Structure 1
Amino acid sequence: MNYRFMRLMVLFDLPMQTDKDRREYSRFRHFLLENGFIMMQKSVYTKLVVNNVSSRALKDRVRSHLPPEGLVELLEITENQFGRIEYLVGEGQKTVLDTMDRLVEL
């Protein structure tokens, strides 16, 4: 098996008008966190995957846990592309995790 590190990004915009909407949002967000995704922004989560096989399996898991309403997008990029993200930080936040080092979460 060839190991080519990739990042799977989940971008979503879910309705938050009703209690049911908020429950679905919370359920989806907790699913992402329980499956090793890390929040980059409020509705942008990312996870490191080792190859195309694991990426496809993870995409299938995300598809099987979609909320009934709203928009969810999946974006797969290489680790090099992810490392070239340019962070533009304004007044609100002074610190950003900006490194090519691998993050190991236990």
Structure 2
Amino acid sequence: MGSAERFNQYRVMWVMVFFDLPTETKKDTKNYRKFVEVLEKDGFSRFQFSIFLRHCPSMENAKVHIRRIKMNLPPKGHVGIIHITDKQFGMMEVFISAKKELTPQPIQQLELF
């Protein structure tokens, strides 16, 4: 498989995790922080307050990260996980204070083979 095939816009995936977690008690807050820490340690970046993104070189890699999230779901709250192609992600329009911003660019990943 050549480099162009490995990094095809339809093969490269983005995993998006969005959630609403309770923070009413100390235990809830601790569970919230623990979940966010799991996401950050697994390479996710905060896109909005409760939306995290991760760039994955393939669907197989995306499935690994989705499995990790599922193993660390908090006991309460609402969590959604979606994976989309790089092509779909690139069509997203982002606005900050009514000004159009560029879509976030993926972090360059080093591939050793």
TM range (shorter): 0.7 to 0.9
Consecutive unaligned residues of structure 2, counting only runs of 5 or more, are none
* Match in the other structure for 1:31: 38
Q: Give the C-alpha shift of residue 100 in structure 1.
A: 6.5
| Structure with the greater alpha carbon radius of gyration | 2
Match of 2:63 in 1: 56
TM-score for both structures, normalised by structure 1: 0.85
Q: Please tell me the root mean square deviation across aligned C-alpha atoms, in Å.
A: 2.3
1:104 aligns to 2:108 (yes or no): yes
Q: Percent identity between the aligned chains?
A: 33
Cα deviation 1:4-33 (Å, max 9, x = unaligned): 211000001100100000000000001100
CA distance in 1, matches of 2:71, 2:13: 21
Map of 1:5 onto structure 2: 12
1:82 aligns with 2:86: no
Distance 1:105 1:28 in 2: 24
TM-score, normalising length from structure 2?
A: 0.80
Report if aligned partners of 2:16, 2:53 keep a CA contact under 8 Å in 1.
yes
